[in-house]
Amino acid sequence: MGESISRVFVPSVTEEDGNTLSLGCFSTEEVAWQVLRTFLNKSEQMLLTKCSVVVWDIDIVGEEAMTVLSSMECKDCPVCSRRTFWIDTDNFSALCHGTACSAWIEENTVDPEIIDCGWPTIRFLKQNKSIDEAVEALFKLGDKLKSAGAERMAKENAENLIGENNTEE
């Protein structure tokens, strides 16, 4: 006979309307996290507000059977502006699961007084004194990127309009 399972790990997400979707029931924490992360990579396609990984101990009655391992909230990403920025308030970390973004915030591994943030796309890394300061640094980066993109787009549109006017003559 197989080995008895004493606990299960359940990842879930909550939609904006309050509906909770369980993503499965797994015998290992590693698999539960893998399933949740894979699902969060597509989170911009849904209106999600939070997610969690919960451990349920088998054959235990009452509240003691359940332990919340992690609970995260979804916010708009300060860099790419998509609703794909998942914040774990218990562990002071955040990660954008948006396509090609991956902006992040976490406590420094050496000095807990420092909060690191970054954007891997351009190897941006900044150390901050607070979470608010880290979020602000990422917003400033996002604003610079949007501004540069808008300026480039405006120039390309102007050149296209000039080109269209020249061909009509």
pTM for this entry: 0.76
What's the residue count for the chain?
169
**Side chain identity at 162, as an amino acid letter?**
I
Separation of alpha carbons 29 and 32, rounded Å: 5
Is the pLDDT at 24 greater than 90? The verdict is yes
Task: Encode pLDDT of 116-166 as tens digits.
Answer: 999 998 889 999 999 899 999 999 999 988 887 755 545 455 445 445 444
What's the confidence (pLDDT) of residue 150?
55
What's the confidence (pLDDT) of residue 169?
38
Q: What is the per-residue burial (b if ≥16 Cβ within 10 Å, else e) of 84-115?
A: bbbbbeeeebbbbbbeebbbbbbeeeeeeeeb
Domain ranges of the chain: 1-75, 77-169
What's the confidence (pLDDT) of residue 153?
47
C-beta of residue 126 within 8 angstroms of C-beta of residue 142 = no
